[in-house]
Structure 1
Amino acid sequence: MDLIQHGHLFYVTGHVPDGKDPAAVDRKLIERYGLNISKWARARRKAEGVASVQYVRCGRFFVLIATKGRHEFFEAEPNIADVRRRPIRFAGYSISYRRGVDRRFHVSVRIAPDEYLKLKSYLVALAAHRSVENLMAEFQRVPFEPYAPVRRQLLNILRAVNRVRGAAGFEPVSHSCLRLSRRVVRPFEGVNAAPEREGAEPR
Structure 2
Amino acid sequence: MSKRYIHYLFDSREGGERGHSLLELMVVIALISMMLLIGAPQIQAQFYERKLEHAARQFIYHAQFARQRALYGGHDMLLKPIVANDDEANWKLGWQVEGIGANDSTVIVAQYFLPTNITIQSKGFVDPHSGQSQIRFNPAGAAKSKHGGFIANRLIFAHTKNTDLKRHVILAANGRWRICNPNSSFHRKELNC
Confirm or deny a common fold (TM above 0.5). Answer: no
Q: TM-score, normalised on structure 1?
A: 0.28
Higher strand proportion (structure 1 or 2): 2
Q: TM-score, normalised on structure 2?
A: 0.29
**Whose RCO is larger (CA < 8 A, sep 6+)?**
1
